[in-house]
Amino acid sequence: MTRLTCGLKRVFPPATVPFMLMLFILALAGSLPQARAAGADSAYTKIRLEACAQIETASEEGTFGGAWECPGYQGQAVYVAEGDLRMFISFGPFAADEPAAGQTLPNFNTVNETLEWRLDGGTPVATILRWFPSLDDGASTGSVLIVTQLKPGGGTCQIARVDAQANSNANVMARQAADTLAGTFDCAEPPRILGQPGILQW
C-alpha cells in the first residue's frame, strides 16, 4: 500500500502547543550565552605604574605600598594598589569602592602588566589578568588567571580563577568564564575555581 504524505499538514493537539512553545523558549534561552560568546572579542592594555597617577601614598608603617589610577581600554579607569606585598586591582569610575578593590590572593603576589579586556559588541564586560603568587618555598611563583566582571555600582568583582600551570587551556577557560558569567555573577559569592585547582587549594 502506498502512503500519500505530500501536501499533508501536521496538526498538533491543543494541549501540545504550550509544551512546544516552552521547548522553543528554553532552547532560545540556552543559546544566549553561546551567542554572546560568539560575538566576543579581546582588547589589550598595559599596566605601567610610571604612566599612572598615584592617588594614595605608601603608609609610614610600610604595610600599604600605595594606590594608582591607570588608563585602561577606552578611558576605563584601572585601580592598582599594593598592601602587605599583595596586589589589588579594580575598575570603573569608583574602582576603589568596588568589591574587586578588596580582593587578592592569600599568598604574596604580583601581577602581569598585560591586561586583557573581554568585549561584547565593543563594550568591555570583563578583564583577565595574570597574577603571580609566591609559592611555599619562597623561591618560585605560580601563575593564576583572574577574571573580573565590570559592573560599576558595586558589581565589579572577581568571578573566576584558573591555575594556568595546572590547566593547559587556562586562557580558553578564562575567556569562556568572562563571556558567560560576566554581568550576572553575584559578588557575594566567592570567585569560581575553574578546572584543576592546583595552587588554588588554599
Average pLDDT, the chain: 86
Residue 59 C-alpha cell reads as 603608609
Q: Distance of alpha carbon 128 from its chain centroid, rounded?
A: 6
Q: Are 178 and 171 in contact (CB under 8 A)?
A: no
pTM for the complete prediction?
0.81
Residue-wise pLDDT tens digits, 150-166: 999 999 999 999 999 99
How many residues in total does the chain contain?
202
Which of the 8 DSSP states describes residue 39?
A: T
Question: If you search the block for the grid coordinates 572579542, which residue do you land on?
Answer: 41
Q: Could you give the CA distance from residue 69 to residue 19 in angstroms, rounded to a whole number?
A: 53
Q: Are 162 and 145 in contact (CB under 8 A)?
A: yes
192-193 and 157-163 as β-strands: parallel, antiparallel, unpaired? parallel
Residue-wise pLDDT tens digits, 113-140: 999 999 999 999 999 999 999 998 777 9
